């Protein structure tokens, strides 16, 4: 039943549960050896998409093609796909060894092949010596590695991972992330990974598909997704916490630099595509891209008040994070801005913020 590694995987899925459309024309192409992440909040349909790929649920409409061949008409056991579940789903009544050899045994592979494969994947996930343990006698991280080994033992042409790290503690999660990335490049696996954690998505993937309410919002490399989100949802999900809608007030003679204004907040920006006077433009900036340029704790430097893209504000909340602070600042018209800065401030301080125009992200409508 072993199949060739996948060249391209063409996915086009519509899935309805009753009247509710969970996936609406979900279209994605995965290239061989690619690490693709489906990223979205819980309930967005990402796990449904994965289950469709695995064959655990049927499509309402659409198709899944592996190198041009229909995959969606095959039962799960014939697809040659591996899957790692959020709760690992190990067989609690079998020791590690049997868990890993299960797939090879039901496919009636020769004994010596089973033996060598099991040894191979056990060393791959560094679990030699644990063969006789039962899943309940392992830690979360070890169970996770057994689940990965069990999937890899069959040399699947496509490996699906459903939030595999979400049950691990923060430190272990970081280690497993590195291990997963290493496995991916070492074995040349084709991977579809589901998560709601943007850090996982950015750090692991070749490409990320951001999903909301069953619709793909944006597909791109982690950098594209992070630096130029396609819409408000993606920007919000990727950690841009400050959103403004400003009106174009003036366009400078070169036609590139636009001056935008709303309620006393004025920004001069050069990255607005084809600005027109009177347009409403939605912008966003990440908390750590805003600088505190003047605060009582800073030695007073040259007056900065008249610099472009600055605004005064009053500190309302300070959260100490160690290296930095999360600072909530109220600017004109009671607008609240979240800033992340190492500058020491206190509640009630009058400060001046600088919005780096290079870091301001324009959100298309």
Partner 1 sequence: MLRSYYFRLGFKNLDRMALFLLLPSLLFLIIFFLYPFFYGLILSFTPEKGKPIYDNFYVFLTDDWQRSTIWKTIRLAIPITILAILWSVPLAYTMRRGIRFERVVTTFLILPVSLGTVLIAEGVLGFLGGNGWFNQFLINIGLIEEPLRLTYNYIGVVIGLFLKNFPFCFLMLLGYVSGINPEIENSARILGASPRQVFWRVMLPLMAPGITIAFALVFVLDFAVFPTAILLGQPADATRTIAIAAYQMAFEHYDMPKASAIAMIMAVIQIIFLAIILAFRKRLYRGTSLGIAKG
The site for partner 1 (CB under 8 A) is made up of 1, 54-56, 75-79, 81-83, 85-94, 102-103, 106-107, 134-137, 143, 147, 150-151, 154
Nearer to partner 1, 1 or 111 (CB): 1
Nearer to partner 1, 195 or 284 (CB): 195
Q: Which residue bears the tokens 């009671």?
A: 334
Minimal distance in Å, beta carbon 107 to partner 1? 5
Minimal distance in Å, beta carbon 136 to partner 1? 2
Nearer to partner 1, 84 or 240 (CB): 84
Minimal distance in Å, beta carbon 153 to partner 1? 9
Q: d(Cα 113, Cα 119) in Å, to the nearest integer?
A: 10
**Strands, sheet with 258-262, edge to edge from the N-terminal-most edge strand:** 265-269, 258-262, 242-251, 280-285, 361-363
- Side-chain-side CA neighbours of 141 within 13 Å: the count stands at 14
The two tokens of residue 284 are 């966003």
Minimal distance in Å, beta carbon 102 to partner 1? 6
β-pair partners for 280? 247
Determine if residue 163 is left, alpha or beta; phi over 0 gives left, psi from -120 to 50 gives alpha, anything else beta. left
Among candidates 172, 175, 225, 291, which has minimal Cα distance to 40? 225
The contacts of residue 91 (CB under 8 Å, 6+ apart) are: 98, 99, 102, 135
Minimal distance in Å, beta carbon 67 to partner 1? 20
Q: d(Cα 124, Cα 180) in Å, to the nearest integer?
A: 11
The contacts of residue 102 (CB under 8 Å, 6+ apart) are: 91, 94, 150
Minimal distance in Å, beta carbon 16 to partner 1? 18
Q: d(Cα 232, Cα 89) in Å, to the nearest integer?
A: 36
Minimal distance in Å, beta carbon 154 to partner 1? 7
β-pair partners for 352? 294, 312
């Amino acid at each position: 039943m072993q199949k060739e590694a996948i060249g391209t995987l063409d996915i086009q899925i519509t899935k309805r549960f009753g009247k509710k459309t969970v996936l609406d024309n979900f279209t994605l192409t995965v290239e061989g050896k690619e690490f693709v992440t489906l990223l979205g909040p819980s309930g967005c349909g990402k796990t449904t998409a994965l289950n469709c790929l695995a064959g655990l649920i049927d499509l309402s409409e659409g198709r899944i093609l592996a190198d041009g061949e229909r995959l969606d008409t095959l039962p799960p056991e014939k697809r040659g796909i591996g899957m790692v579940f959020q709760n690992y789903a190990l067989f609690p009544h079998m020791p590690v060894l049997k868990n890993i050899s299960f797939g090879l045994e039901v496919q009636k592979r020769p004994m010596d092949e089973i033996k060598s494969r099991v040894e191979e994947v056990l060393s791959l996930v560094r679990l030699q010596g644990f063969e006789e343990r039962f899943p309940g006698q392992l830690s979360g991280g070890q169970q996770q590695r057994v689940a990965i080994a069990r999937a890899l033992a069959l040399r699947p042409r496509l490996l699906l991972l459903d939030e595999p790290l979400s049950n691990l503690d923060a430190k272990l999660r970081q280690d497993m992330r590195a291990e997963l990335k290493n496995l991916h490049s070492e074995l040349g696996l084709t991977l579809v990974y589901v998560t709601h954690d943007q850090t996982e998505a950015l750090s692991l993937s070749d490409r990320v598909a951001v999903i909301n309410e069953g619709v793909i919002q944006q597909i791109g490399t982690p950098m594209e997704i992070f630096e130029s989100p396609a819409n408000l949802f993606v920007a919000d999900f990727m950690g841009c916490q400050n959103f403004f809608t400003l009106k174009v007030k003036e366009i400078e003679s070169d036609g590139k630099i636009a001056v935008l204004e709303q309620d006393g907040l004025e920004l001069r920006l050069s990255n607005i595509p084809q600005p027109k006077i009177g347009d409403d433009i939605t912008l966003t900036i990440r908390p750590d891209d805003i600088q505190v340029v003047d605060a009582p704790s800073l030695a007073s430097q040259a007056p900065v008040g008249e610099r472009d893209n600055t605004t005064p504000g009053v500190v309302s909340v300070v959260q100490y994070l160690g290296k930095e602070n999360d600072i909530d600042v109220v600017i004109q018209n009671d607008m609240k801005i979240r800033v992340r800065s190492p500058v020491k401030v206190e509640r009630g301080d009058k400060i001046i913020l600088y919005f780096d125009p290079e870091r301001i992200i324009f959100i298309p409508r």
